[in-house]
Amino acid sequence: MLRLATVSPCFNEEDVVRSSAERLTALFRELIDKGKISDDSMMVFVNDGSKDNTWKVIAELHEENPFVRGINLSHNVGHQNAIMAGMMTARQWADAVITIDADLQDSLVALEQMIDRCNEGFDVVYGVKVSRKADPLLKRLTAEAFYKLQQSMGVESVFNHADFRLLTRRALDMLSEYGERNLYLRGIVPMIGLNSTTVDDVISERTAGHSKFTLRKMFHLASDGILSFSARPIYGLIYMGAVFLFIALCMVVYVVRALILGTAVSGWASLMLSLWLVGGCMLIGMGLLGLYIGKIFVEVKRRPLYHIREILE
């Protein structure tokens, strides 16, 4: 029988951890009664350097609830690294791991379907969002635009899939061989290449608290999702340079013609426009190259992704 572990990263989630643990406990007991998971399955909450009482609540739940385990990271390392810490620790305890955010906005019905697909022999099961009505409009629009941008850049990923997924121990062992520091699990997991499938995930409203995934964090995640997997933006700079060279040649022809015909008019408008256009594009290009160099800088130092302060087993 499948020994399951759910892994939920938590950053300042004291308002939702207890209610989420209660919902997962009810689901665990139901799945145990159905014979789908073993009675020594567990839910693992990873405290990602929270500033509130999140870890205190997790410790209390661990004392009260036999299903609850906790991992306390030494400081805040970010959503992706916290998930990695939870998965790499839980793979020693379980046959399969499901990563799900602590607010449980992802569908618990889909979670049960993931277990069914796993029992059918799939090593990777992705939760794909078929409805995002619970998300704010801006988040819906930017998320879908980002997935389409990823595809155009040649990044292999599952459309409308976030970090709600099931991985067997075999998949986790393979994932552990990826030593990247700029973590983007949505791009790395498909590279494992094991047999995979999807289940439909309908997002629900938060029961308490608010999302800690700010616009700045989404931008950093998006940059990792593209710059860590595709060199096409660099080629875009080359194409942009070719376009500017063509425009410059056209300007040379225009200036020579104006001198010959005597129609040249002194002025600065066109000059200033050209300077601002080329200067702006050069700054964008330099910034893009800087992002690539910055990611190389992070990778070559090979610093640990996280440090674990305490584990509640």
DSSP secondary structure, 97-149, as one string? EEE--TT--S-HHHHHHHHHHHHTT-SEEEEEEEE-TTS-HHHHHHHHHHHHH
- Residue 92 and residue 161: Cα distance in Å, rounded? 26
- Report pLDDT for 269: 47
- Pairwise pLDDT comparison (141 vs 285), residue with the higher score: 285
Distance CA 111, CA 260 (A): 75
Instruction: Tell me the Cα Rg of the chain.
Output: 25
Per-residue pLDDT tens over the stretch 145-192? 666 766 766 667 788 888 999 999 999 999 999 888 878 888 889 989
Of the two residues 162 and 273, the one the predictor is more confident about is 162
Query: Which residues have C-beta within 8 Å of that of residue 167, sequence separation ≥ 6?
Result: 87, 96, 97, 99, 123, 124, 175, 189
Query: Do 125 and 196 meet the contact criterion of CB atoms below 8 Å apart?
Result: yes
Q: Which one is predicted more confidently, 212 or 28?
A: 28
The average pLDDT across 264-279 equals: 61
State the Cα–Cα distance between residues 134 and 294, nearest whole angstrom.
35
- Of the two residues 177 and 300, the one the predictor is more confident about is 177
Supply the pTM of this predicted model.
Answer: 0.77
Which of 107, 89, 110, 84 minimizes the C-alpha distance to 42? 89
**Phi, psi (degrees; rounded to nearest 5) at 311:** -125, 130
pLDDT at 284: 73
pLDDT tens digit sequence for 197-239: 999 998 877 665 556 556 666 666 666 666 666 666 766 766 7
Q: What would the mean pLDDT of 49-53 be, rounded to a whole number?
A: 94
